[in-house]
Amino acid sequence: MLEASISSNVPGRGYFEDIFKAEGQSETVPIGQAKIDDHYLSSYGISLAAGRGFRQGGNADRASIILNENAAKIFGWTPEEALGKYVLYAFPQRLEVIGVVKDFHFRSLHAPITPMMFLAMNSNLWGDQRVVSVKFKTDDVSRLMSSIEHKWKELAPTAPVEIQFYDEVLARQYQSEKRLGRLFAVFACFSIGVGIIGLIGLVAYSAEQRKKEIGIRKVFGASITRIFVMINSQYVKFIVIALVLATPFAWWGMTQWLNSFAYHIEVTPFAFIAAGVAELVLAVVCVGYLSLRAATLSPAVVLKDE
């Protein structure tokens, strides 16, 4: 069944930008606009910082607008101060601010939140919208799509219908990041696999070459733990050196990528420390069996031919 939420427009679609200014101010500001109905804010869970949304039907809100917090700030108003103020469009046209919504993302996170205003569907500015947002809850999506197409043809028989799921619209904004993530995951797994195979081979060769040394050390009382540490210490040292050399390049690459987003986390040392510890643990686990086998080898077996 439908979840009783049908709204005009979709965040990021039906979006235009034009020049406005606040009444009594001379500075003009480019502000994005979209036409919405009285269900829009509740359908998308957009919260009001001050004021109210549009009323259903009638002509009371034809000359009213709702700003986002960023637009109110651009005009020098707090959300509460913006209520009852007027914004001028095509500068004889006065639009009264009746509400201010909390800032929300209507574009990709690559772009910062910009000034935005909403006009009522019955506003006479730049024509009608033919975008409908439907919030639904159903197990029979194909039947729902057929019903929507049928109703659309009744209301707008000359306009083609194009149905999109909003989660897919959002996902398309980050396709390049997903492809990049998959590519890095494949190369990381390949690199780790090659590194582990090489490390295992190196430890096996080294243990074979040092069998007599290990046997002699055991004869003179060296413990299994001491021999295990001796075998692995040189590889741990090389891994730590590699981490130290690679960390600045990894930090620079991550920072450059994150800077392509207007809103992003900061790269902290903990991420590199955690990666280094995980790498060391993985290396010790992978070569531990070979090292332990070499450390527990009987000196009699090793030195019998000497």
The two tokens of residue 1 are 């069944």
Are 287 and 199 in contact, with CB atoms under 8 Å apart? yes
DSSP, res 117? E
H/E segment holding residue 270: helix 269-295
Q: Which tens digit of pLDDT belongs to each residue from 135-162?
A: 888 788 888 888 888 888 888 888 888 8
**Nearest CA among 136, 169, 137, 132 for reference residue 153:** 132
Cα dist from 90 to 21, 36, 95, whole Å: 9, 21, 11
> Cα-flanking dihedrals φ and ψ of residue 137, to 5°?
-140, 105
> How much of the chain, in percent, has pLDDT values that exceed 70?
86
Cα dist from 200 to 50, 63, 204, 207, 297, whole Å: 65, 74, 6, 11, 18
User: pTM score, two decimals?
Assistant: 0.67
Pairwise CA distance, residues 276 & 278, whole Å: 5
pLDDT for res 76: 92
Pairwise CA distance, residues 161 & 150, whole Å: 10
The two tokens of residue 162 are 């194009």
Question: What band does 240 get if pLDDT is binned at 50, 70 and 90?
Answer: confident
Q: Which tens digit of pLDDT belongs to each residue from 193-213?
A: 888 888 888 877 777 777 777
Rg (CA), the chain: 33
More confident residue, 161 or 9: 161
> Cα-flanking dihedrals φ and ψ of residue 14, to 5°?
60, 35
More confident residue, 261 or 73: 73
Give residue 140's identity as a one-letter amino acid code: D
H/E segment holding residue 4: strand 2-8
The mean pLDDT value for 226-254 works out to: 84
* 189 beta partners: none
pLDDT for res 85: 93
pLDDT for res 4: 31
What are the residues whose beta carbons fall under 8 Å from the beta carbon of 78, sequence distance 6 or more?
A: 72
Q: Which tens digit of pLDDT belongs to each residue from 96-110?
A: 999 999 999 888 888
Look over the chain and give the mean of its residue pLDDT values, rounded to a whole number.
81
